[in-house]
Structure 1
Amino acid sequence: MNAIFYATDRTENSAPVLRYAYELSEKLGTQLIVFNTHEMEPIRVMVSRPPEQIEYHVLKEQKEILANYCAKHLKGGLEGKNIKFEVVSNDSITEGIVENSKNLTAGLVIIGRKDKHTERGLFVGDIGKSLVEKLSCPLMIVPNSGGKPIKKILYATDFMEADIEAIKKLAPMAKAMDAKVYIVHISTEEEYAGKDQMEWFKEMLEQHVKGEKFDFKLIFSDTIENELKNQVEQLGADLLVLLQREEKGFLNKLFHTSMVKKLEGHITIPLMSFNKFNL
């Protein structure tokens, strides 16, 4: 995997997510890019220095503040750690993350989950939904309490070809962490296309992801978010993975803003999402 891109608001409550992002980057053997958007104050007309020069010095100072924040909250400080710091001025947090994660060829973007302590209504809500749709790499949303080492991954599937591509990209990450992937499909009995659909998916997955074994589970339910919560708890999953899609299907419903809020309230582990642009 290329670098992990962690976007932070630098609050004390976000520190567990920073530690989680760094530990994940270590486990995957990749660089961690810690990113922050800074809102520039209006420059007064009587200021003698050019605006570009002022912005350069402000962002340089903000990068030092960001580095000090990370040194404070990471065990052992920054010595020997593969971390890069980026601060930009951008009126849109979403666009700042999208543009800079793409320019820096990030393999994964991590943001913290919105809670009452988060500044400016930052992560996640509508920003998370927008990132899911625009990023050129997967997005991981992490609770502000952080998360456990990833050993069990729950992947929710609609038995689509795009799911195979997503699992194909997920497999190396799972292997690096010595984690097992559990594949679950939730459907109403009326919508389910039959056992042939699952068998076809299994065969296709074996052809594209060789040498890996997956557990499969089919569940009938009319309440998706509640059933996902149940499966996360029963399995003791450390990560829930979803695929954002345009086709009709149960996962498409998950990314309506109201459903994202329900998931955030119900599921207390990190959520990772792929979209059609990063498969």
Structure 2
Amino acid sequence: MKRILFPTDFSEVANNAFVHALELAKTLNGELIVLHSFELPVVDNQFFPENYMVIYESLELAQFDMFKDEIPKLRAIAEKRNLDKIKLTHRLMDGDLIFNIKKEIKEDNIDFVVMGTAGDSGWESFFLGSNSGNVISDIDIPMLCVPHDAPFCKIKTIGFTTRFRPKDKKALKRIIKIAHKTNAQIQCLYVKANESDVSDETIKEWKAEFANDHISFSVILSNEIKETILDFILQKDIDMVTMLTYKRGFFENLFHTSLTKKAANEFSIPVLAIPIE
């Protein structure tokens, strides 16, 4: 059974991502671990020598009360979607968000992380300045990133960007398993720039190997990598796009200010970021 970690602050953005997490758990026959991480403020005890611990205890209690009140709301969301049979486990942790996520990944043998993102500029805001963007840079398991304005819809087409490297093939096989469970088609994209060193023979070998896996391969000649990817997503009606790197520099490149906020907003679909070795 796959284990999916869902960090949440119980906002509307997070609750929207929770639906995606539930549906992923259903697809993978998995379970969800709901994590709420909070940081207590730094209090200088020289100014509060007598009630120093009282302050911290009251803040921790407030977080616990909020956590206790919000969990039933998540269960109600699951029940409304007839997904209340999915196992939910809850974690309330003090400390840095990324540290706690990495700790949970290790201690609970997590397979996926699902996290929402807020912001007025869609993907651009997400990857360049949010907790989710920071997390994606620091973990070594797949993470499903859900924009705030992306309601769940059945995944019919999965986009997969590649450079036809051997390490990409391992990730593609992982996506094929998900696609088979959802009866989705995979649209594989390679943007071939002038300096490309991928041979036609390599591309033919890939097509032959995956001939029976409902995969369409597109090779587009262009030096405008980011624009080509976004055009491809729109033209192929992609429901979820897979990208084989979560390094922050890659996303800064992809969503540079040369893309307008309007363009970024047009692609409010989940992104599955898969780390590659």
TM-score band, normalised by shorter chain: 0.7 to 0.9
For residue 129 of structure 1, report the CA deviation from its aligned partner.
4.2
For residue 4 of structure 1, report the CA deviation from its aligned partner.
1.6
Counterparts of 1:241 and 1:181, CA distance in 2: 10
The match for 2:128 among 105, 125, 129 is 125
Please tell me the residue identity of whatever aligns with 1:67: I
For residue 79 of structure 1, report the CA deviation from its aligned partner.
5.1
What residue is the counterpart of 1:167 in the other structure? 172
Farther off after superposition, 258-267 or 20-29: 258-267
Counterparts of 1:253 and 1:181, CA distance in 2: 26
The question of whether the paired residues in 2 share the 8 Å contact of 1:5 and 1:35 is answered with yes
The question of whether the paired residues in 1 share the 8 Å contact of 2:159 and 2:242 is answered with yes
Classify the secondary structure of the residue corresponding to 2:144. Answer: strand
1:233-265 Cα offsets, whole Å, 9 max, x none, are 22111110011188xxxxx96333673785954
What residue is the counterpart of 2:11 in the other structure? 11
Classify the secondary structure of the residue corresponding to 1:24. Answer: helix
For residue 41 of structure 1, report the CA deviation from its aligned partner.
4.2
Matches within 5 A, 1:245-264: 254-256=250-252, 259=255
The question of whether the paired residues in 2 share the 8 Å contact of 1:129 and 1:257 is answered with no
Q: Report the CA distance shift for 1:142/1:201 in structure 2 as closer, same or farther (over 3 A).
A: same
What residue is the counterpart of 1:228 in the other structure? 229
For residue 95 of structure 1, report the CA deviation from its aligned partner.
2.2
Verify: 1:66 aligned to 2:70, yes or no: yes
Structure 2 regions of 5+ residues with no counterpart? none
What residue is the counterpart of 2:103 in the other structure? 99
What residue is the counterpart of 2:188 in the other structure? 183
Structure 1 regions of 5+ residues with no counterpart? 247-251
For residue 114 of structure 1, report the CA deviation from its aligned partner.
2.8
The percent of aligned pairs where both chains have the same amino acid is 17
Please tell me the residue identity of whatever aligns with 1:111: M
Classify the secondary structure of the residue corresponding to 1:172. Answer: helix
Q: TM-score, normalised by structure 1?
A: 0.78
Q: TM-score, normalised by structure 2?
A: 0.79
Matches within 5 A, 1:14-25: 14-25=14-25
Aligned CA-pair RMSD: 3.4
Verify: 1:113 aligned to 2:109, yes or no: no
Classify the secondary structure of the residue corresponding to 2:114. Answer: strand
The question of whether the paired residues in 2 share the 8 Å contact of 1:112 and 1:142 is answered with yes
Counterparts of 1:41 and 1:245, CA distance in 2: 30
What residue is the counterpart of 1:139 in the other structure? 143
For residue 181 of structure 1, report the CA deviation from its aligned partner.
1.5
The match for 1:76 among 59, 80, 83 is 80
Give 4+ residue runs of structure 1 displaced > 6 Å after superposition.
48-56
1:106-139 Cα offsets, whole Å, 9 max, x none, are 2111111231599xxx965344444333213101
Q: Report the CA distance shift for 1:48/1:131 in structure 2 as closer, same or farther (over 3 A).
A: closer
